[in-house]
Amino acid sequence: MITLKKVTSRKEMKDFVRFPFSLYKNNKYWVPPIIKDEIDNFDPTINPVFENADAQFFVAIKDKRIVGRVVAIINWFEVEKQQIKKMRFGWFDVIDDIEVTKVLLNKVKEIGLENNLKYIEGPVGFNNLDKTGVLIDGFDHLGTMITWYNHPYYKDHLEELGFVKEKEYLENKFKFKNVDDVYFDRISNIIKRRFKLKALDFTKTKDIMPYVDEMFEVFDKTYSKLSTYVPISDAQIAFFKKKYISFINPEYIKFVVNENQKLVAFAIVMPSFSEALQKANGKLFPFGLFHLLKARKHAKDVTFYLIGVHPDYQNKGVHAIIFDQYTKTFKPLGIDNCIRTPELEDNEAINKLWKDFNPVTHKRRRTYRMSIQ
């Protein structure tokens, strides 16, 4: 018999967060989170996302052990301001038993109906800064700290229960050696002169902080036309600053400004922390932090986390300035692979951005939808 339990205490939340550690034990492609960070992320007193969103956490129990989990999410800005009547679900993990999946997602459906929502979509997080999608191809590739990994049967469970494809995302990678540094140096100088632009490089995190709010303004303008976009609040930006910016190598963050010192483009790249997180196995101490700091300094693979160009400067080759900056930073470091975060398959602008680097699609992921009214 399968029973459903709502997570209410911190101990239960720790069990919720730790469930995938048993589900993916000995899986060499799964990248575990830091347990404390994950628990804090779900704490309304810490994460400001809860100012505009509600979340309920559930585990499925069979034979006295956890066999599945899910977060049922309502983003109220999305529902009330954007009039998108969506019930979200995320952090979805199950054993290979479709009855477990059914119990968990029926609860999500029930909450959606109680709130007069029209459909369910998932797996997704609270907003565009969270992980998204169930992996449907590329199970034999190492995950990243900014994506979910899952077993192949997840897709089968969802489709058997009547969920249909909503959005598909591609994950691509390319060799850094595919980037023509001579070409980008030449084009970058032309674009900078033509539009009176300047590239900003950093060696200290404190010098980045004054630009972060403006960066999110550009982020908003860059991605607001996408069907998946939900705005990021000022409190969430402040949370992002504290949680991520201070840990990212300052030289891996690139900005472009115009003659008035207004930010027109940005990119954030992170060293790959995947292997370090596997060694940490959910804990910063006693040795997890050492592995992460080592990766921060010595990782030869990098992940392109965020990139944005203000609409007024799109289709003008401004991205060439950013890539020129990265070639000059990465070449002395011996960077090998450049890995991109999941991107919508129908995002033609982003596909054009990367086409010259001979990217290889190594993973595909998908969100699924079901009408509930």
Domains and their CATH numbers in the chain: 2-170 (3.40.630.30), 174-364 (3.40.630.30)
Please determine, for residue 225, whether its predicted confidence score (pLDDT) is greater than 90: no
Percent pLDDT > 90 in the chain is 86
Does pLDDT of 228 surpass 80?
A: no
For residue 125, pLDDT over 90 is answered with yes
Sheet strands (E) in the chain:
2-6, 53-62, 65-75, 86-94, 119-122, 134-137, 164-175, 198-200, 253-257, 263-271, 301-309, 337-340, 343-344, 360-371
Q: Is the pLDDT of residue 360 over 90?
A: yes
pLDDT at residue 33, rounded to an integer:
97
* pLDDT tops 90 at residue 157: yes
**194-213, pLDDT tens digit by residue?**
999 999 999 999 999 999 99
Q: What is the pLDDT of residue 237?
A: 86
pLDDT of 38 reads: 96
Q: Crossing angle of helices 153-160/98-114, nearest 10°? A: 50
- Quick check: 216 pLDDT over 80? yes
Mean pLDDT of 15-34: 97
Q: 149: closest CA among 178, 127, 171?
A: 171
Instruction: Tell me the mean pLDDT in the region 71-89.
Output: 95
Question: Could you identify the residue written with the tokens 């976009």?
Answer: 229
Per-residue pLDDT at 13 exceeds 90: yes
Q: pLDDT digit string (tens) for 327-345?
A: 999 999 999 999 999 999 9
